[in-house]
Amino acid sequence: MANKLGYRPNPLVRANMEAVRSQRKHPIHAELGLVAAFDRIHEWERYPNIACAIESATVRAKNLGFRLEEFCIGKDSEFSHRALRQITARGIRGILLAPTSGHLLRLPFPIEDLSVVSLGQPVENSYVHWVAHNHYQGIQLALRKGNEANYKRIGLAISEDLDQRIGHAWMSAYSLYRCEIIDKGKKGKRLYPFRYKDLNDQALKQWIEAIQPDLILGDDGVIKNLLEKLGLRCPKDIAFMNLNQPPEGAETAGISQNSAKVGSTAMDLLVQKVSLNITGEPTAAITTLLGGEYQPGSTLA
């Protein structure tokens, strides 16, 4: 009945009552901030999984009675100062940190008076709650699917930036897979991951010739295009699985990171903190990891 009548909970009432009970000094407002380390508004739309998570968080915020407004902090300190002035002037108490496309985000201002939740791995210089895809579970699922399809030599290609941002989760799981290959006494050229800074066809070719994989797990669909450029057909010559599938799906096989659920879960956690007027760095940060799902595709036989 409440939904039919268009009822939405009033976060001001709930949050202020919690503030009264806990005798906190700061009032809570029904506006939240999205802090993004880009130079322009909505620049994150170029990255499908980031965009999906942020859009889902925005919808969830609206359903909970909040409005999410973006603030860019960019690489210029002036962007950061301007964002902080705007956040302070508008009385915004809750901040959702958008994931970056490269390096770990470094917050340029203090958060002791803010409720903060990060989408993706924690920021570099602050201890905050965070919600993300479970990358370790995701690659384990991919390796299992590869084994079930009878692939014997599975390789991993990952960028250095992403490897750092996900806490080396894919590399860790892949190292375990390599140990299992050795323990089983399988012969052949030694397997090792392709960890690159700049992805190009010649570097990829050298790695493939060195380890001779029959299946490549990668973090970018561009790898499939490079394989085709090298004259390798998927999956006839070599199979490919994308560990970072776009939310809308793709013709490639891979792992969906459930980005929409990541976004809505992060917003639920942020609203909870704002409603309870919990600010600053937590004594024990909450980490929430959501599992991925396998999506079949034409690049896996």
Q: How confident is the model at residue 17 (pLDDT cuts 50, 70, 90)?
A: low
Q: What is the pLDDT of residue 41?
A: 87
Q: How would you classify the pairing of strands 67-72 and 215-218?
A: unpaired
Q: What is the pLDDT of residues 173-200, one digit of tens each?
A: 999 998 887 667 665 568 899 999 989 9
Q: What is the pLDDT of residue 257?
A: 95
pLDDT at residue 262 greater than cutoff 90: yes
Give the chain's domains with CATH numbers: 11-133+258-292 (3.40.50.2300), 135-256 (3.40.50.2300)
Q: How confident is the model at residue 27 (pLDDT cuts 50, 70, 90)?
A: very low
- Average pLDDT of every residue of the chain: 86
The secondary structure of 108-121, three-state, reads CCCCCCCEEEEECC
Q: What is the pLDDT of residue 30?
A: 74
Q: How confident is the model at residue 26 (pLDDT cuts 50, 70, 90)?
A: very low
Let me know: does 57 contact 266? Beta carbons within 8 Å.
Answer: yes
Residue 251's CB is within 10 A of a number of other CB atoms, namely 12
Q: In this structure, what token pair is assigned to residue 143?
A: 């390796």
Q: Which residue has the higher pLDDT, 99 or 189?
A: 99
